[in-house]
């Protein structure tokens, strides 16, 4: 596990859906996740034709957004490790391509707006440059 990631968000295996950060700015981040071929979920989703459930693809995007918020706050000196990012709203999600075992997903998230401790995002997941999913979502930093 990338120690930078584990220092910024509370997610841990088996529910950590980001392997590494590729690039980040104050308003955007791109990260990557290699989808293991032996995930338990592939046993039932779907037998003979395994594919990553869309909800897990969205989770990878959401965790990438949480990394962006934590990185921005850390850089500004406002990061409080006592707060955790919590998904509060999924405005929209569209799935354009199946994601198969062994593929690498690249997640890009843009911070659209921040109001107090609430952040609004747009995110995209791509495989080999092709859009697999797009979503708009909201996250809040809250005390556990």
Enzyme catalytic residues:
45
Residue from 71, 74, 68, 76 nearest 29 by CA: 68
Q: CA distances (Å), 10 to each of 3, 76, 107, 138, 141, in order? A: 12, 20, 18, 18, 12
Other Cβ atoms less than 10 A from the Cβ of 29: the count is 26
Question: What is the torsion angle, in degrees rounded to the nearest 10, for the CA atoms of residue 75, residue 65, residue 111 and residue 20?
Answer: 60
φ, ψ dihedrals at 22, nearest 5°: -90, -55
């Amino acid at each position: 596990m990338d120690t930078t990631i584990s220092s910024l968000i509370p997610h841990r295996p088996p529910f950590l859906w980001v392997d590494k950060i590729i690039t980040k700015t104050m308003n955007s981040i791109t990260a990557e996740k290699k989808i293991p071929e032996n995930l338990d979920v592939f046993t039932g989703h779907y037998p003979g034709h395994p594919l990553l459930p869309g909800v897990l693809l969205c989770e990878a995007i959401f965790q990438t957004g949480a990394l962006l918020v934590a990185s921005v706050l850390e850089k500004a000196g406002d990061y409080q490790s006592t707060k955790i990012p919590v998904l509060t709203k999924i405005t929209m999600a569209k799935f354009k391509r199946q994601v198969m075992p062994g593929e690498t997903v690249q997640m890009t998230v843009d911070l659209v707006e921040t109001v107090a401790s609430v952040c609004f995002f747009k995110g995209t997941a791509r495989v080999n440059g092709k859009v697999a999913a797009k979503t708009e979502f909201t996250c809040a930093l809250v005390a556990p």
